[in-house]
Chain A
């Protein structure tokens, strides 16, 4: 039995006695049932699995569990809910900024990190801030609009 690893996930303290080499994404999805973060590439190149670790957007697919020890992990499920949505969640819905939606969770996480650095980002800052997130459906213009809308609503 591996020694337990302590971390906080969406505000809840967790102690996980799991192989520390497992990816954080695998643990979130398969052990904690948090399935909004998606596997896209396994190499941190597409952003579908982005989570916040101590407030920074990080791909969880190539982050081993041990690297999150003692840290605060937030997934898109932790951003808000239907009754108390994050401004980005409301804005993504208002702009219908998704088609297939597979990348949406990672988009929300990257955008949340962006808004923490730049409360009122300009177009260049938004595009650079979202550069690690891939979308194949071509929703980029709507995602940019949604981030502008969310920033304006805060």
Chain B
């Protein structure tokens, strides 16, 4: 399959922000200052982008400084999501730096009366053969970069890379290890005060009464603020704010109502809701061979929490002299998007709000960062001129952050007499995966839905296909089936605030497709690896499957071992346009499933920082192991029940599998993101390994002891 060459077209981020100076500045000390619109979420993106800059400019990595993203000065690259930062910001910076290099070379050539073609740059110094002529530092002139991007200069081919493509250590990791790093939680601003929210006991609750007087008189309390069912307190110290919020919670009375579905019957509930159908593929030509048999199966995943280790946190300051001006410090994935929704929700003009990104704890999709920023801005209205720091509680983080949607997937395949697929049918039901701010006419920020003059609760939606989709992500099988029918339904009227969680719909779709592929292979008396390869027309797909199988010492087998230990494979190309990833899992099933080992092969095209790719693939696989084995959001018909890590356990060290990641390919195509590629394949590999171990199939996640017992009893 031929890939688009990203060297021959201006990337979308650059078309939207064409001025070179908005990305790059070279100072008279030889420092190259870079502004990306993508933000560091713990995924190591700033290092990968710095490596790209160093490569294209022919400077040392140490000369690159990545500046924090701030509205008004940073390019607007919307959201840092979808494993697209290398593809979007990286591609933009490749072009920006290639052009900047050419401009500086041209300048040096003109000053020396030489032809630019004979000059070269190394370590930021410009040479004519052996003779040093000048440097970026000496020529530094901001005016040189006051031009728009043009396609005149192609970035380097990955084959010519010298420093990009090599593993580099992240500077921020050393800073974190030595306790020098400032997370948003660690930020201390002059005159800073502390806010705490008192959230309703359940999503449908309304605040009936609250006697704030007793709290207002508490030591250190600056203000109690109430607007409708949005309630919070500001105090001089964090300790005082905590104490006051606990007291305020006792003083509040709420009217609750049952708004949530039966957690034990999510697929049936999803299918009962009104829906918008997206038809991705319809039947091809009539089957080339007669249909010998039809196989069908139903799969499901529950709602899954983000469960970041750090609770969401933000700081906000209303200008003391002009209260229409607001500054925000946030770990949001999209500073401009957040600014648009803050303006809508607070009745301010966007230009009067400055939103600065500060790194938070790990981010795996749309978490509470935007919501807590609204809370901070709202509380800051009570004390203009003083920055208010708001940190959510663990219970609020688990229960009130947007939640990863539950999904139901039903698959059906017609097979010929040889067991090959003739027709494939996919039907799925899912809430929307996108409730991000800044995309609609009404804000999606949590607190804005609970004000007296509440903003309308909007349904989560899915991005259009070209922008990555949502529940439909990876719904189309990558296999070369003669005929396929794929219908994805986005259900409406969901009481949860569902939104993007790492891999979006690809997690459930790949889990289902790859489980079903195993079922079909085994029902045809075929080895699951060989059977997949026989139906793939994409050589890179075949290569990662073969590499993972080889790493795991896969031996062909067409029936389950059934001895309590098993192995299974899962594969996908993320979004069918991104990284290829195959996972082989080894499991042991006793009272519960233990994943012992994951062998993973991945093709991300030319990797900018190979160790960074490994980190992302490992992390995705580990997180997916946790989702697959133990995670589902808990709730009754009224309340969310995940108040702490006892209620919502995630995988701990004793249960973490060994993981081996191999990068394959790398000489083909453009650099692809790695952050989400391993999640779906890992879930499927584990489920297939459980089948291999037990001879029974569990089609609903998580693969808990209860579910496995049910499956054994039903078999």
Residues of A within 8 A of B (CB): 19, 22-23, 26, 29-30, 34-36, 38-43, 45-46, 48, 75-77, 80-82, 85, 89, 92-93, 96-105, 108, 126-128, 130-131, 133-144
Interface of chain B residues 619 through 678 with chain A (CB within 8 A): 619-623, 644-646, 650-654, 656-659
Is B554's CB within 8 Å of the partner chain A? Answer: no
Asked if B179 contacts A105 (CB within 8 A), the reply is yes
Interface of A is mostly: loop
Total contacts A-B at CB 8 Å? 163
Across the interface, name the chain A residue whose C-beta is closest to B186: A35
Contact of A30 (CB < 8 Å), options: B239, B362, B364, B646: B239
Across the interface, name the chain A residue whose C-beta is closest to B361: A102
Is B80's CB within 8 Å of the partner chain A? Answer: no
Interface of B is mostly: loop
Considering the chains assembled together, what is the distance between the CA atoms of A96 and B42 in angstroms?
12
Asked if A136 contacts B173 (CB within 8 A), the reply is no
A residues in contact with B619, CB < 8 Å: 99, 137-139
8 nearest A-B pairs in the assembled complex, by CB-CB distance: A100-B42, A138-B622, A36-B179, A101-B176, A138-B619, A100-B362, A140-B656, A102-B361
- A-contacting 9-mer, from B68-76, B96-104, B305-313, B336-344: B305-313
User: A104 and B177 in contact (CB under 8 A), knowing A128-B654, A136-B309, A137-B42?
Assistant: yes
Contact of B653 (CB < 8 Å), options: A19, A38, A105, A133: A133
Asked if B653 contacts A99 (CB within 8 A), the reply is no
Considering the chains assembled together, what is the distance between the CA atoms of A82 and B656 in angstroms?
30
Asked if A100 contacts B361 (CB within 8 A), the reply is yes
Contacts beyond the supplied A97-B173, A141-B618, A142-B618: 5 A-B pairs with Cβ under 8 Å: A39-B185, A45-B646, A101-B176, A137-B362, A139-B615
Q: How far is the CB of A74 from chain B (nearest CB, A)?
A: 12
Across the interface, name the chain B residue whose C-beta is closest to A130: B653
Is B29's CB within 8 Å of the partner chain A? Answer: no
Q: How far is the CB of B6 from chain A (nearest CB, A)?
A: 26
Considering the chains assembled together, what is the distance between the CA atoms of A34 and B186 in angstroms?
9
Interface of chain B residues 465 through 485 with chain A (CB within 8 A): none
User: A134 and B650 in contact (CB under 8 A), knowing A99-B42, A102-B361, A103-B309?
Assistant: yes
Asked if A101 contacts B653 (CB within 8 A), the reply is no
Q: How far is the CB of A16 from chain B (nearest CB, A)?
A: 13
Considering the chains assembled together, what is the distance between the CA atoms of A104 and B238 in angstroms?
23
B residues in contact with A81, CB < 8 Å: 178
Is B257's CB within 8 Å of the partner chain A? Answer: no
How many interface residues does B have (CB within 8 Å)? 55
Asked if B173 contacts A96 (CB within 8 A), the reply is yes
Contact of B174 (CB < 8 Å), options: A45, A93, A128, A135: A93
Considering the chains assembled together, what is the distance between the CA atoms of A108 and B182 in angstroms?
17
Q: Could you name 30 residue pairs across A and B whose Cβ atoms are closer than 8 Å?
A: A23-B239, A29-B186, A35-B185, A36-B179, A38-B309, A41-B644, A45-B646, A48-B310, A77-B179, A82-B178, A92-B177, A93-B177, A99-B42, A99-B615, A100-B308, A100-B363, A101-B176, A101-B177, A105-B176, A128-B654, A131-B654, A133-B652, A137-B623, A138-B621, A140-B653, A140-B656, A141-B657, A141-B658, A141-B659, A144-B656
User: A98 and B176 in contact (CB under 8 A), knowing A30-B238, A45-B646, A127-B656?
Assistant: yes
Contact of B309 (CB < 8 Å), options: A22, A102, A141, A142: A102
Considering the chains assembled together, what is the distance between the CA atoms of A81 and B178 in angstroms?
6
Asked if A102 contacts B622 (CB within 8 A), the reply is no
Is B569's CB within 8 Å of the partner chain A? Answer: no
A residues in contact with B177, CB < 8 Å: 89, 92-93, 98, 101, 104, 108
Is B393's CB within 8 Å of the partner chain A? Answer: yes
Please indicate which of the listed interface residues B620, B653, B656 has the most CB atoms of chain A within 10 Å of its own CB: B653
Is B43's CB within 8 Å of the partner chain A? Answer: yes
Asked if A96 contacts B650 (CB within 8 A), the reply is no
Asked if A39 contacts B391 (CB within 8 A), the reply is yes
Asked if A99 contacts B43 (CB within 8 A), the reply is yes
User: A38 and B185 in contact (CB under 8 A), knowing A98-B177, A100-B42?
Assistant: yes
Across the interface, name the chain A residue whose C-beta is closest to B659: A141
Residue interface mask B586-628, A partner, CB < 8 A = 1: 0000000000000000000000000100010011111100000
A residues in contact with B659, CB < 8 Å: 141
Asked if A102 contacts B645 (CB within 8 A), the reply is no
Across the interface, name the chain A residue whose C-beta is closest to B615: A99
